Amino acid sequence: MLRIGLGTDVHQLVEGRALILGGVTIPYEKGLLGHSDADVLAHALADAVLGALRAGDIGKLFPDTDPAWEGADSLKLLGRVAALMREQGFSFVDGDCVISAQAPKLSPYRDQMRANLAAALGVEASRIGLKATTTEHLGFEGRGEGISAQAVVLLATEGDDGRSCR
């Protein structure tokens, strides 16, 4: 059986926080605000996997009222989601992600982000696509008020590598 999942997330950019995307700490004058490390990319990807599992969302699994997740490394949350995926008999076939940020320039960090996300999911980096775009100064991302991320994933039950849908 094949399943698709879609995830999206937004966090506000503020002064006095580290900017962490895909587990990479990126030098910038601002960082993302959140209860955890606010890694918007890891959150979108985790929500995409949970969507494919029909297992709710990361807000349900890791509530921001729980002090256990305060300042949490979101790659660890993604690893927990991957463990749930395997418990439910699914494997990760492929995923693709987009980050929308006016600044900073993210392309130098793309491969490290892909490697980190793939490692958290327990798959090779070739299974994770990642792009970054500006929004041409439009909207909250374009004004530098926040960063958004989207992710789509394809999961398969063990023994179904996706060839059955060709």
Q: Which is nearer to Mg ion, 9 or 93 (CB)?
A: 9
Question: Angle of helix 110-121 relative to helix 40-53, nearest 10 degrees?
Answer: 40
Q: Which residue is nearest to Mg ion (CB)?
A: 43
Q: How far is the CB of 117 from Mg ion (least distance, A)?
A: 15
Kind and range of the H or E run holding 35: none
Pick the closest to residue 107 from 24, 18, 47 (CA basis). 24
Which residues contribute to the site for Mg ion (CB under 5 A)? 9, 43
Q: How far is the CB of 64 from Mg ion (least distance, A)?
A: 9
Q: How far is the CB of 88 from Mg ion (least distance, A)?
A: 22
Pick the closest to residue 42 from 16, 74, 76, 14 (CA basis). 74
Q: Which is nearer to Mg ion, 21 or 121 (CB)?
A: 21
For residue 109, the 8-state DSSP code is G
Q: Which is nearer to Mg ion, 58 or 156 (CB)?
A: 58
- Structure-block tokens of residue 116: 């980190």
Q: Which is nearer to Mg ion, 69 or 92 (CB)?
A: 69
d(CA 35, CA 146): 15
Q: How far is the CB of 150 from Mg ion (least distance, A)?
A: 12
